[in-house]
Structures are given as C-alpha cells and as structure tokens.
Amino acid sequence: MTAPGDGPRGAVIERENPSRTSELVGTVGVSGPERVDALVRRADAAQRSWAATGIARRLAALAAGADAIAGRLEPLAELLARESGKVLADCRGEVGFAGTYLRWVVEHAPAAYADREIDDAAGRLLRLPRPYGVVAAITPWNAPIILTLLKVAPALAAGNAVVVKPSPLAPLAVSEVLRLLAGALPDGTLAVVHGDAAAGAALVGHPLVRKVAFTGGGVAARQVAATAATQTTPVVLELGGNDAAIFLPDADLGTEPMRRLVLASFATSGQVCMAAKRLYVHRDRRDEFVAAYRAAAAEVLRVGDALTPGVSMGPVISAGAVARIERIVAAAVARGATALPLGTVDGGTDLAGGYFVAPTLVLNAPDDAEVITGEQFGPTVPLLLYDDEEELLARVNADELGLGGSVWSADEERAFALARRVEAGFVFVNTHNRTGLSLRAPFGGVKRSGYGREYAEEGLAEYAQTCVVHAPGPFRPGGAGLPANAYPG
C-alpha cells in the first residue's frame, strides 16, 4: 500500500485514548493536496492492469488479505480499542467480521460481476459489469475497519482501484488493516490519505475519481455530494439515523429481549448509526417496560476503560461528544423529563481521566425535545408512549431520517405488517442493531439517511456499472429489418 501522505512538514494527526486521554496512541501524517493528487493518479494508472488481471486473481488477492488480517486479530483489536474507546471484545468482533465479509465477497463476487448474455429472437444482448476506475472511500471512526471494507472489498473485486480517507478520530487500526490487505495487491491499487475536510475535498473532487463512497453525518455528506457534483461523480451515502424501536402491546419484555435492546442502544456507547434511538412502548406497559429495561441494563451495562475485561461500554470519542450529549439530556430535563441512570461502573476505571458519559433512559421528554428529534449518537435513549398504531406511525415517520427501525411482537405477521409501513431502509423484527444484520440483506437509508446500499448483492452492484452490447433481432442475419424511424418493441 502506498504510504500515508506527506503534507506540510510536521503536520500530523495525534490520536489520544478516549479511556485515558493522557495517553497518546499514535500519529499519522497529514496528506496535502499534492500528495492526494499523486496517489489518485497512481491509482488510476494501476487500475487498468488490475481490472485486466481477471476476477479469479483479484479474489485470490482479497482472500490472501483476509488471511493476513486474521493473523493480526489481537493487536489490531487492541489498537482499535485504544484509539476509539470501543470495548476490546467488540473490537475483536469487528476485526473478525471484517475477515468474514472479505471472504463473503470472494464467494459472491463471481456471480455479481459476471457477463450476462441473452441470444434469442429479440436479438443478442450482452450486459458487461465494468469497474468505474478509481473509487474514493471516506470512512468514519465508530466502526472504521468494517465500514471501510464494506467499500474497499467490493470495489477491488469489481476491478476498481481505491483511495481511502479514514476519519482523523480513528486512523490507526484501519490503516494497518489496509496495509495488510494491500500487501496482496499490485502497488498503487489501494492507497490511504489522512487529514480533515481539506484532504477529503481534494480526494472527492479529483477529476480522476469516478465514484465516491461515504459513511458519516449529514453535514459532511452534503459537502461530499456538492464536491462530487462538480465532476458529476456518482456517490453512495450511508448516513445517520434516528431509529425507532416499536414495542407492540404483546411484545416479550423478558430478560433476553431486553438485553438485546439495551445493547442495541448502548453498544459503542450509543455511537452507532443504526442504534435504537427512540423507544416506543404502549402506555399500558410503561411501568413493566421501564423495570425490565433497567434490570437488563444493570446486568449487561458496565462502564469503564475499553481494555478492562468485563466492561461493555467505554467512553465516547471526544470532549465535544461529552459536551453535546450532556447538553441534550440537560435540555430535556429542564423541560420536565427525567433521566434515569443505567448500568454499573467498573471500580478500577478513572472516569475523570477519559471521555465517559453515564448511560441514561430519558422519560417524559416532549416530542420536540432534541433527545427525540435528533440523532443522539451517545449513551442516552428516550422512552415514548403511544395509544394506537396509527398515531404511533405518524410520530415515527415524521422524522426526516430513515435509516433503520425495529418492531417487537409475539406475532410475527403483525410485526411484519407494521414494519412495511415504517419509513426506513432496514426494519428489524424482535431485535435491533448488528444482531439483526445479515450478509444477504442490503443495508441503507431512505429520506435524509442517504442512498445506495451496502451488504448483499446490491452492495456489490454499487461498484460496477452495466455496459451493453446489443444486436437487435431485426438487423441480424436473416432479420426482417425495421423502418429507420421505428421505436423499440
């Protein structure tokens, strides 16, 4: 892999440990515009020969990369935990799942990227899935490895070259993963640049970038889309959500469902786009739900240093995140809401030494409070009550975001019937967040939560464009022909 950028001398990104902010985890050099330009041009030159190698050799390289990553699982997981504050067990899971996804791409790419031909009385039609060229991937910090490989793996399999710009909040582990993957690839095919919005703009707006894949927030997404539009470059956007978890009156509020729900809200300290962010419960079951939810949180939520065994929720990513989340909760409380503390705290953790925020369940907040209308992206979640399904759906669907949601019911048919009416790109049934994902299920949002899909065949298709060769039947040998001004039949 081409090394990170060499911006102005001394320009580096320093990454601290959110669990222990006095610890410097590592640094990366900032890539200036000239470096971004050089790496994109190099990727463009490498892409044509990479595409010409054939899919079998491309997939063999991805499989070798997956093996290399698997061999470094433990140090990669520890590095990710130290730079992001995500607990070590979840970091192990992310690195392992990245390898699983790479191997899934290896298995399914041949069918997704195969030529398809029809030869019949209507004519001879050849569909050719062809790579775009250079793909720019702009990736976030909260699950940097898997959210990067969701773009890089299918793009490479399709025959593209890729230049990645990771988030400056978690650049270290993902850069090492990409280095390991690039070790199996031709030089220049996969490169990494580092920096803030300026580096991203230089990459996205480069005239040799033919497609952009972005995961992140709405403000940055609009900047990315606007910059890409200057070159008419197509974009895939996977953005935030304000996912509603809907509990129908017959929903199971037992220990296991409640444990799933608590972790669906508080995994990665709630900093997940598809986390359960609004809990809707029928008014008649309010007290039962609150008691069950708090009991489950007491069992599964233990706040502390991300590297401490048994800790299930670490810090948030930055001091700014702490201030924002505490402000949102305080504003709700000032308007009459109650913030109930959840879980327990690890006794060996110095909470004052990191970016820790106490997990809370917010009760009685007005529907226009920011804790309900905005994506909290932190360890707090509001409980809302409803009386009937039509009123419920109106409130759920009024939100401008539409990434995910969930419906919980003992009656699967009833759950599916309601889920069909939820305005979201992905609706889970009787679970939420990553336990409800599947490699065969396309994931992405509607409304202001973006466009395009990841996972499944649809995720593979994002990185190839269909080109066509067509001989209409009437003009083939023996055909009867058509008038020169005929429309297609």
Task: Per residue of the chain (489 residues), give pLDDT as tens.
Answer: 443 344 444 599 999 999 999 999 999 999 999 999 999 999 999 999 999 999 999 999 999 999 999 999 999 999 999 999 999 999 999 999 999 999 999 999 999 999 999 999 999 999 999 999 999 999 999 999 999 999 999 999 999 999 999 999 999 999 999 999 999 999 999 999 999 999 999 999 999 999 999 999 999 999 999 999 999 999 999 999 999 999 999 999 999 999 999 999 999 999 999 999 999 999 999 999 999 999 999 999 999 999 999 999 999 999 999 999 999 999 999 999 999 999 999 999 999 999 999 999 999 999 999 999 999 999 999 999 999 999 999 999 999 999 999 999 999 999 999 999 999 999 999 999 999 999 999 999 999 999 999 999 999 999 999 999 999 999 999 999 999 999 998
Please state, as a whole number, how many other Cβ atoms lie within 10 Å of the Cβ of residue 416. 13
Q: Which residues of 243-265 are buried (b: 16+ CB within 10 A; e: fewer)?
A: bbbbbbeebebeeebbbbbbbbb
Distance of CA 342 to the CA centre of its chain: 26
What are residue 282's DSSP bridge partners?
386
Amino acid type, 154: P
- Cα gap 384→367, rounded to integer Å: 8
| 395 within 8 A of 384, measured Cβ to Cβ | yes
For the whole prediction, is pTM greater than 0.75? yes
State how far the Cα of 131 lies from the Cα of 271, in Å rounded to an integer.
33
> What are 417's strand-pairing partners?
none
* Torsion angles phi and psi, residue 245, rounded to 5: -100, 115
Amino acid 472: pLDDT: 97
Q: Is 202 helix (H, G, I), strand (E, B) or coil?
A: helix
Contact 95, 145 (CB under 8 A): yes
Best CA proximity match to 58, nearest among 478, 463, 487: 463
Phi and psi at 419, nearest 5°, equal -60, -35
Q: Is 22 exposed, middle or buried (0-12, 13-18, 19+ CB in 10 A)?
A: exposed
Enumerate the β-bridge partners of residue 401. Answer: 447
pLDDT score recorded for residue 10: 53
Per-residue model confidence (pLDDT) at position 3: 39
**471, two tokens:** 């001989």
| Residue 489: per-residue pLDDT | 83
Residues across the chain: 489
Contact 465, 478 (CB under 8 A): no
Q: What Rg value do the Cα atoms of the chain yield, rounded?
A: 24
Q: Residue 185 in contact with residue 157, Cβ under 8 Å? A: no
Task: Give the residue ranges of DSSP H helices in 119-171.
Answer: 144-157
Cβ neighbour number for residue 179 with a 10 Å cutoff: 18
435 vs 51: CA distance, rounded Å:
35
Q: Which residues form the catalytic set?
A: 238, 273
Task: Yes or no: say if 479 and 473 are a contact pair by the CB < 8 Å rule.
Answer: yes
